[in-house]
Amino acid sequence: MNKMMITCAVCGAETTRKQNPNLPLSPLEIAQSTYEAYLKGAGIVHLHVRDKDGNPTQDPEIFKEAIRLIRERCDIVIEITTGGAVGMTDDDRVAVIEALQPEMASLDCGTVNFGNEYIVNTLPTMRRFAKEMQKYDVHPTLECFDISHITAANVLIKEGLLKPPFHYGLVMNVPGGIPYDVELLQFLVNRLPEGAYWTVMGIGKASLPAQYGAVSIGNGFIRVGFEDNVYYSKGVLAESNAQMVERAARIALEAGYEIATPTDVRALFQLKGI
């Protein structure tokens, strides 16, 4: 498929307005930011939500309000986080699958250092989340922060808990996780199952290089957004998620790709639809 799929992670769980005052926080702001990113070429939104104080939450009711407002605006594919935020319980994180039954959801594939914190994902946790996604026909993005996470995902595949088409999210440059360079990206890609799809997520200053890495290696997709990076260029804060999607789309177009629409994404991953 000579089409570039662009995911936009519009707010994440850890980014704050102190880091970038343009960060969307309320369901309405998140929905509007998602719509603006969609207009610039995003086919998927990776969705976190915040409570009234701007703190990360897995409250299904807040998700429902954000989703309702997004659906009033566009048909972008919605990928719900089950990674949540540092300190959340497995019960908190996985409850959104049954409550929301989205088309897609993230599935973290291992424990990782996360700056001065850490996120725990044991194999029993992964199995539980994968079973819930199977039950409600939710397509997982297998988020891998290190090579061992690809190995852990292979365990779930062998156990029949994951079905193709597989989609991996290769998260690079989280402090304490695997750093970004194009050789390491190629190393990870080489160890994916044959025929698997992948999206690279360059965190912080790795965001733009990772986009070029996806284009240069080929057969990869791109994620951008305030969850991953608050700067448009060195020392220059991004104005919006749409600004970052627009550049990602331009890079892909200049490299000879078409931009994948939500319809293309649904066909590629065999999603159940809205």
Per-residue pLDDT at 91? 96
Neighbouring-strand partners of residue 172: 202
d(CA 68, CA 95): 18
d(CA 117, CA 138): 29
The mean pLDDT of 176-196, rounded to a whole number, is 96
Question: How far from the centroid of its chain's Cα atoms is residue 154's Cα?
Answer: 20
The mean pLDDT of 182-192, rounded to a whole number, is 97
* Short-list 206, 148, 200, CA closest to 175: 206
d(CA 128, CA 56): 22
User: Across all residues in the chain, what is the average pLDDT?
Assistant: 96
Place 154 in a pLDDT band, splitting at 50, 70 and 90.
very high
Per-residue pLDDT at 118? 85
Which CATH number fits the domain 3-269, given the four candidates 3.20.20.70, 3.40.50.300, 3.30.70.270, 3.40.50.720? 3.20.20.70
- Write out pLDDT tens, residues 88-120: 999 999 999 999 999 999 999 999 988 888 889
Neighbouring-strand partners of residue 198: 168, 220
Q: Apex CA 255: angle with CA 252 and CA 261, to 5°? A: 35
Whether the predicted pLDDT of 1 surpasses 70 = no
* Short-list 5, 126, 131, CA closest to 77: 5
- Write out pLDDT tens, residues 260-270: 999 999 999 99
The structure tokens 């989340």 sit at 129
Per-residue pLDDT at 234? 94
Whether the predicted pLDDT of 176 surpasses 90 = no
For the chain, the domains span 3-269
Q: Look up residue 166 and give its DSSP letter.
A: P
**Beta-strand pair 6-9/220-224:** parallel
CB 38 within 8 A of CB 260: no
Whether the predicted pLDDT of 69 surpasses 70 = yes
Place 37 in a pLDDT band, splitting at 50, 70 and 90.
very high
Per-residue pLDDT at 218? 84
Residue 143: partners with Cβ closer than 8 Å, 6 or more residues away: 83, 106, 107, 108, 109, 149, 168, 169, 171, 201
Per-residue pLDDT at 219? 84
d(CA 235, CA 232): 8
